[in-house]
Amino acid sequence: MNSAERYFVTAEERGELGHAFLLEGEDQALLTATARRTAQRVLCEKGTACGTCESCRAVLSGNHPDIITVSHEKPDTLSVSEIRHQLVDDIEIRPYRSARKIYIVPDAGKMNPQAQNAILKTLEEPPAYGMIFLLADNRNRFLPTVLSRLVTLRCEEEGGSEELTENAGRERLLQLLGHLRAADASELARAASDLKADGMQAEEALELMTLLLRDMMVIKAEAGTKLRVPEAETLLSGFADRLSWAEADRCFTSLQEAKARLKANGNADVTIEVFLLQLRELLRKA
């Protein structure tokens, strides 16, 4: 959970959750993931993003009718008619099945001034059930009038996963992922000890997986952000093509669970095996 997500949890607990937010950061994939996870939690029947209630299942399958992702046709502009049609007018229609109706606007910095003016009144007086996430790399892309109506949150990856040591384990893990769909259970069962023999601990393997999955989201979102593990681009493009957004999200959930298990002193071999099995299932099903 990053600082933006922690803000949402606290604000919600205090009953102070607002209606309109700007998530600001260079990493589009991270912004999207933050907005989607927050939306899932807000709509969850248990209020926890439990992953199992009807609402969570709809979110994870990418089919929740009360989460709307605003899209644009031209790569460089989000036009006034697009914002009117998909948000300003649409938000007046009550939620389909939830207490909230949530809008996610990727590339919101590409709204031209007319589009920004069109959204102004909605930001000022949103319906009680409305919630809007604008995602952008820089708050300076917005008119001051728009900015003043948003809660702006910086969104950055936390933890020191930048500096991964180069070792043979890295190469081994990438190879394993390359044929993961066809990998047999015994290979996955001994993956952690094989990696360890190559100098890579389980924690390190999961950190590398974090970078790989983020790169996969970058590729999937066509965000154009620099990849952290460029040598895995072909492999990850394959994953990105194969997995839906919901399935890609589930990869992250599995990874978070694996990290939590390891932190709680879970068995490293089993943790890595279970994670790889889950990833393999997602890739096979897709």
- List interacting residues with Zn ion (CB under 5 A): 44, 50, 53, 56
Q: Smallest distance, Å, CB 162 to Zn ion?
A: 33
For Zn ion, the closer of residues 2 and 40 by Cβ is 40
Q: Which is nearer to Zn ion, 56 or 248 (CB)?
A: 56
In whole angstroms, the minimum distance from the beta carbon of 144 to Zn ion comes to 38
Between residues 50 and 229, which has the closer beta carbon with respect to Zn ion? 50
Tell the residue number behind the tokens 């970058």, with chain if given: 218
- Minimum gap (Å) between residue 45 Cβ and Zn ion: 5
Please say which residue, 44 or 88, places its beta carbon nearer to Zn ion. Answer: 44
Asked if 248 contacts 220 with a C-beta cutoff of 8 angstroms, the reply is: yes
In the complex, what is the shortest distance from the CB of residue 244 to Zn ion, in angstroms, rounded to a whole number? 19
For residues 34 and 94, what is the distance between their CA atoms, to the nearest angstrom?
Answer: 24
